[in-house]
Amino acid sequence: MELREAIGRRRSIRFMRPYRPVEPEKIQRMLEAARLASHWGNVSTLRAVVVFRDTAPDDVREALTAPVAGFQIRAAPVTIVWYLDTDAIDEQSDRLRELLRAGALGVGENKEKALEEQLLPIFEGIQDLLKAPGLSEVDCGQGIAQATLVAFEQGLGTCCLSGPNMDEIRQRLGLPDACRVILLQTVGYPAESPDAGGQRPRLPFGDLFHMNGYGKPFPRSEEVVAELQRDNMIQEQAPAEWREAELEWLQKALDIKGAGLI
């Protein structure tokens, strides 16, 4: 599948086939994609613990049971606990030196001296800021997004889950204090139809993006929109007319108690 179509077809999948395990090599491909994503200073703060529901020890599985979307975690054969390790930022100088040696950073004979005397002191001076929530979360998001597309490419569905108890999960999994759990991502074979009822709503393009200054909407070319529709990146809006019937069927098939929200 082409990248454009993959972006358009990807949906958050909340209803998984609970009986169908996910092959570890498919998860590995997701992790490989996450590892290749860009990161400021090349420090790679993104880490993960992958929990296979059927083989993980009880205490590890139970560490995941409290989030808001508990029913999704119970049904998913795999949950990836994505976390950010701020200790990686202690190594930022070495990562920048590696970048320079790799030919990614700097030009000319004096680049090593300039790195040591000019750039590294700047980074070292803002290390605490770089460890605070913000920039590194952006990088983790890029890695998770790449992993999500690779999951989708392999016929899997995923849903990102967050909640008020991320630090409790960190503690129960024994992750060091320097780590922050970013989110949990369920992974499995979708029980719902592949397009899961169509493109979920988004705010209007013109409300989101500006050109040459705040308040001047980026002009949206209808020609480009038509091209992306042809390429299946922009798809039919949800809900498809059969979606409520599908949800009713999923509720029965998966024996979901209540409204399926928590």
Ligand X SMILES: Cc1cc2nc3c(=O)[nH]c(=O)nc-3n(C[C@H](O)[C@H](O)[C@H](O)COP(=O)(O)O)c2cc1C
162 touches ligand X (CB under 6 A): yes
SS3 43: coil
- The DSSP string of 121-159 is HHHHHTHHHHHSSSHHHHHHHHHHHHHHHHHHHTT-EEE
Q: Which stretch binds ligand X (CB under 6 A): 47-55, 87-95, 159-167, 217-225?
A: 159-167
69 touches ligand X (CB under 6 A): yes
Beta strands 46-52 and 157-161 are unpaired
- The nearest distance, CB 159 to ligand X, in angstroms, is 5
CA 162 to chain centre: 11
Residue whose CB is less far from ligand X, 46 or 96: 46
Among 68, 119, 228, 240, binds ligand X (CB under 6 A): 68
SS3 81: strand
Nearest-CB residue for ligand X: 12
Angle, helices 24-36 vs 135-153, to 10°: value is 140
Sequence-ordered list of residues with C-beta below 8 angstroms from that of 42, at least 6 positions apart, any chain: 95, 96, 98, 99, 104
Residue type, 67: P
Among 94, 124, 125, 200, binds ligand X (CB under 6 A): 200
Residue whose CB is less far from ligand X, 77 or 157: 157
254 touches ligand X (CB under 6 A): no
Among 7, 12, 31, 120, binds ligand X (CB under 6 A): 12
Residue whose CB is less far from ligand X, 91 or 137: 137
Q: Which stretch binds ligand X (CB under 6 A): 10-18, 29-37, 228-236, 247-255?
A: 10-18
Q: Kindly list the residues in this chain that would bind ligand X in the complex (CB under 6 A).
A: 11-12, 14, 68-69, 159-163, 183, 200
